[in-house]
Every structure is written in structure tokens, then in C-alpha cells.
Amino acid sequence: MERRDFLSNMGITLVIACAGGIAACSKGGDTPEPAPNPNPNPNPNPGGARLTVNLNSQIPNIGDYIISSGVVLIRLAAGNVPASFSALTSTCTHEGCTLSNYASATQKIECGSSCGHGSRFNTDGTVSNGPATGALTKYTVEISGTTLTVK
């Protein structure tokens, strides 16, 4: 076999080997299936609660807020009554980013820097500044003693 033929065959063999390696690393290869959820209830909180907080220690002052478990919870007024709170989804309706901040001075909920598009929402969930056009989903607030539950 001549040197030229040998190098040509080696080049073809190398191309085939690399192409096979790339195909083997493509999506859907040896990825194991996720383990089944031992708790078939999609909401891990009992009674359908999205979020439960202690009003005395977690959100005691007007303007305090929590963003957790897919919820933005804001204390708007004094008193442990449902009307003193706003509970909304923490997912921006524009690009699905997680809302990151509540500015108590302006009373606006702001979209996270991960999207960077500047959408802002009022405490009732309506859009204050776009590009978002859809309001945030509102959740029900229930209070028992010093425990607030978002449903």
C-alpha cells in the first residue's frame, strides 16, 4: 500500500470515528429515566398550601416581602387580616423569569435581572411597565393566629 493510499484511508477512518463519537454524545443517549416521584401529590404542602409563613418572624412590617415557592407575598398594611397582604405568582408573564424584588418605595414588583427587560407589576398583579402585558396570577391568603397560608 502506498503512503498516499494509507493516509487517505486513515483520514476516512478518523472522520467516521469522530462522527460516531459525536452521535454517541447527542441528546437522548444513555440518560437514565428520572426516578418516579414517591409523592404523587404535585403540591408538597399539606392542604394545597403554596406557601406558609409566620407573620411575627417572617413578614412583620409593612413593605416586607417574601419570594418563595413560586409566590411573591407582600405585607401592604398593618393587621393580620387577608386584606393586609398581596400574594401573586413569582413568574413574570413576559418571559417566565422569576420576579426578584419588591420596591416598597414605589410599590412595584420587579422582574429579575436574568431577563433584564424591565417589566414591573403593581401589588394587585397588574402590569405597571412592559413589555409584559399579562397580569400576575393572584392567590388566596388565609390567616390562622400568626400563620399565613397562601393557597
Q: Which CATH class is domain 46-150?
A: mainly beta
pTM: 0.65
> In the predicted model, is pLDDT for residue 24 greater than 60?
no
Q: Three-state DSSP class for 87? A: strand
pLDDT at 124: 92
Average pLDDT over every residue of 116-123: 81
Distance CA 39, CA 32 (A): 20
Higher pLDDT, 43 or 65: 65
| Predicted confidence (pLDDT) at residue 108 exceeds the cutoff of 90 | no
Distance CA 56, CA 93 (A): 31
Q: pLDDT for 43-60, tens place per residue?
A: 445 567 888 999 989 999
User: At CB < 8 A and 24+ separation, what contacts does 60-64 make?
Assistant: 62/104, 63/102, 63/104
Q: Looking at the chain, how many residues does it have?
A: 151
| DSSP symbols for 9-71 | HHHHHHHHHHHHHHHHTSTTSSPPPPPPPS---S--SGGG-SEEEETTTTS-STT-EEEETTE
pLDDT value at residue 12: 65
Q: Which of 5-9, 15-19, 141-145 has the lowest mean pLDDT?
A: 15-19
The full set of domain ranges for the chain reads 46-150
Which pLDDT belongs to residue 89? 85
Q: Which helix (H) or strand (E) holds 149?
A: strand 147-150
